[in-house]
A and B are shown apart, each in its own frame.
Chain A
Amino acid sequence: MTSAVTRRGPDAPGTEPPEEQRGTRSGLAWLLDLPAHAVRGVTRSAATTPGRLSLIAAGLVTLSLLTGLVGALSVQDRGNTIDGLIEHREPLAAAAQQVYRSLSDADATAASAFLSTGAEPRQLRERYQFDIAKAGAALAKAASDAGGVPKAAAQVDILSRQLPVYTGLVETARANNRQGFPVGAAYLREASELMRSTILPAAHELYEIDTERLVDEQDDAAGFPWLTALLVFALLGALIATQVYLRRRTNRVFNVGLVVATVAVGVAIVWSAVGMTVQSVLVSSGSSGGTEQVDVVVRARIAALQARADETLTLVARGGGSEYEKEFSALTAQLAGEDGTGGLLAEAADRAQGGPAAEHIDAAREDTAAWLRAHEQVRRLEGAGDYEQAVRLAIDGGNEQSAAHAFARLDENLAAAIDAGRQNFLDDTTNGARALTLLAPGFAVLAVIAALGTTLGIWERLREYR
């Protein structure tokens, strides 16, 4: 310690770095030598206290500004990601879901319409048309974003090519049906085959891709900002170290400028830590209570729709549809478990507990039980040879005991649960975005204050050496 003190006093002002003698050299050689000169210059100035202080000041100012820039940009980026989630990514996942759901429903509805006798029921016709219109509109929306993801683009391509073919087949079936020709049924089977073997798998794939992209972006928006954290803590450490160093050199406890800078950085850390933690928690909650819950309910709804199509197709096949019945059992087991108390609906109920979707899911579980009871009755009637009665019980929506009625209520409740989940997502994520309000400019301003404080603080010390 003592040796350091004695050295500091006398020789400090005397050892200013000598002027460079660059006049004699050629320009190019000077340019090549520049880095070496710079290093030599820095080393030389670091040897003296004022030189060292200048270097420290320059380093701190640079670090402050860099931290401010990186921090402000990363907060801004987060905000943009969240806005993207709300305005873009989530609606697109919902659009993909809509494509999948509408097409499954169209398939089930077309089969029901086939089973009904006489003039096609207007209700079913309208439902089919609505499904196709919704699928088309949602597909256009989903297509608008598929460009950058080849896998998604491939699915959109399949869907946009095959959907018109499907509707064409259904209309041909209709025209023949109205004339009383059984070839209409063959066209309907062909349409259903196209739907089940090509269109629905593509719609499913697209839905999975878009949901995955949504979850990925939610993870991004809730992730830890490593670079900013590293920089800001490095800056804080450097400021404290500088103050400790100055205190030793000058025996002054406080340097106002540096204290202001340290406080500014501290405020930036606390503010962004609180803001980003709140935001991450909210975005994660929007993900678990919103997106993931919606995904479970969507899967339940689609399993229900496909089971419904199987139920009607079993009757269309009139005794030949054992594979449809097998698929029906598999799908309803997926929906409600083997004993009617598990499956996707139980999972959804667990997730929705206490939330606004809970009542819809509870109602959906009751509807499923009612549907399965009606289905058993339908099977019993067909087994006993009473085919007409079985068909009526399956497709007559006006009868409270019918499978059609129970299924329609189930579908409504699941749709309501999906809306509630999406609302959860929207609320949480929007509030998450609010937690970041003014943080980006605030962070930048605080960084600039830190830079100014550092400059003033060290300049004050440097003045003492003149």
Chain B
Amino acid sequence: MRVKKLAVLAAVAALLGAGCGSPGAPVDPAPVSSVRQPMPANATVETTVEGGGSTENGCDPAASLPPKGDIPDGSTMDEIRDRGHLRVGVDQNTFLFGFRNPTTGQLEGFDIDIARSIAEALLGDPDAIRFRAISSAQRIPVLQNGEVDIVVRTFSITCDRLKEINFSTVYYVAGQRVLVHQNSDVESIDDLGGKRVCATKSSTSLKNIAKVDSKPVPVSVDDWSDCLVLLQQGQVEAVSTDDTILAGMAEQDPTTKIVGDRFTDELYGIGIPKEDEDMVRYVNAVLESVRGGPWRQSYDRWLRDRLGAANPPQPQYR
């Protein structure tokens, strides 16, 4: 009874209080106007992307120097043998091609297998390798500075790049496509006009995105997995690069899908310093034998389930 009385009194008091008019709006004690989302290091929205991408004319990017498998004294290969290990620039962030397996701590993937075949041929030991993890933008500088002997890192052969370094014959042909969220309406790169699309710095993919007529906004990052982070955080609409790399991303996130046709041909070659022509010939000779067996083993292990059956591309020589 007493409680009821009190309640009635409180209600009356409240009504009277309400009748007196409001003394002003309540104060927001901790106003938050905007939330700054985290970004991968060095992520930038590109305004001008220079260069021609992967489909320019003017040379035949697929043609490399003819193979030659012997190792004369004083050659580049001889120096590597003296050193005892091969120095290889690779990726450690691209699933299926070159990535660090968190369970074992080892680098694994299709590119890593190719690098190991070369070490095995040259030094007799597939583990006689000193891996150097590099970003897309570092691929040419590390070769020019002589920090690595070869670069095996989803490296597309282009005429521009051939002016600065050498490439082996083509060991894989990929093509650029688009990765979007499962529920997205985007069907190809042409539907992405004005939308943010991610690729790595200095990659052919970035230049190809900038060349598309519908004018997507290219966003550049250091590593391919940073693109997946941006897509998962909703900071880009799509990722566009080689279907091989996209397959690795789709594998890590089942809520994404790969859409559209291949709109470029990306010829993967092994990057070798410009002056080491003997090394180019030697690597081409090793690739000849790799195409015979190890290529298919590695392809079946990493890519077949995701990309379907395929044959190694036939080498072309100048």
Given the complex, which residues of B lie within 8 Å of A391, measured CB to CB? 105
Known: A165-B38, A319-B134. A182 touches B99 (CB 8 A): yes
Is A186 an interface residue when CB atoms closer than 8 A count as contact?
A: yes
Known: A318-B133, A319-B132. A186 touches B93 (CB 8 A): yes
Contact B228 A183 (CB under 8 A): yes
Is B54 an interface residue when CB atoms closer than 8 A count as contact?
A: no
Contact B38 A169 (CB under 8 A): yes
Contact B133 A117 (CB under 8 A): no
Interface size class of A (residues with CB under 8 A): 35 or more
B241 CB to nearest A CB, Å? 15
Per-position 1/0 for B78-114, Cβ under 8 A of A: 0000000101000011110001111111000000000
Interface residues of A in 178-224 (CB under 8 A from B): 178-187, 189-191, 193-194, 197
A193 and B228 CA atoms in complex are apart in Å by 17
A183 and B232 CA atoms in complex are apart in Å by 10
Known: A117-B104, A185-B100, A189-B41. A318 touches B223 (CB 8 A): no
Contact B133 A319 (CB under 8 A): yes
Count of chain B residues near A, Cβ 8 A: 36
Is A177 an interface residue when CB atoms closer than 8 A count as contact?
A: yes
Contact B138 A183 (CB under 8 A): no
Contact A185 B133 (CB under 8 A): no
A177 and B105 CA atoms in complex are apart in Å by 11
Contact A320 B132 (CB under 8 A): yes
Is A388 an interface residue when CB atoms closer than 8 A count as contact?
A: yes
Contact A320 B135 (CB under 8 A): yes
Contact B105 A320 (CB under 8 A): no
> Please, which residue of chain A has its CB at the minimum distance from the CB of B134?
A320
Describe A's contact surface by its main secondary structure: helix
A197 and B92 CA atoms in complex are apart in Å by 24
Given the complex, which residues of B lie within 8 Å of A184, measured CB to CB? 102
Contact B225 A182 (CB under 8 A): yes
Is A12 an interface residue when CB atoms closer than 8 A count as contact?
A: no
Given the complex, which residues of B lie within 8 Å of A117, measured CB to CB? 102-105
A245 CB to nearest B CB, Å? 64
Task: Name, among B100, B104, B253, the residue most crowded by chain A CB atoms within 10 Å (CB to CB).
Answer: B100
Per-position 1/0 for A384-420, Cβ under 8 A of B: 1101100100000000000000000000000000000
Contact A118 B225 (CB under 8 A): no
Per-position 1/0 for A126-169, Cβ under 8 A of B: 00000000000000000000000000000000000100010001
A107 and B186 CA atoms in complex are apart in Å by 38
Contact A186 B85 (CB under 8 A): no
B46 CB to nearest A CB, Å? 19
Is A277 an interface residue when CB atoms closer than 8 A count as contact?
A: no
Per-position 1/0 for B140-163, Cβ under 8 A of A: 000000000000000000000000
Enumerate the 10 nearest inter-chain pairs by beta-carbon distance, A residue then B residue, closest first: A385-B130, A319-B132, A117-B105, A186-B225, A318-B133, A182-B99, A193-B41, A181-B252, A177-B102, A183-B225
A-B contact sample (10 more), CB < 8 A, given A176-B252, A193-B38 = A118-B104, A161-B35, A169-B38, A182-B252, A185-B93, A186-B226, A190-B40, A191-B38, A317-B133, A387-B131
- B residues contacting A by CB (< 8 A) are 32, 35, 38-41, 85, 87, 92-95, 99-105, 129-135, 138, 223, 225-226, 228-229, 232, 249, 252-253
Cβ contacts A to B, 29 pairs, < 8 Å = A117-B103, A118-B104, A176-B252, A178-B102, A181-B95, A182-B92, A182-B93, A182-B94, A182-B95, A182-B99, A182-B102, A183-B228, A183-B232, A183-B249, A183-B252, A184-B102, A189-B41, A190-B41, A190-B226, A193-B38, A193-B39, A318-B131, A319-B131, A320-B132, A320-B133, A320-B134, A385-B85, A385-B87, A385-B130
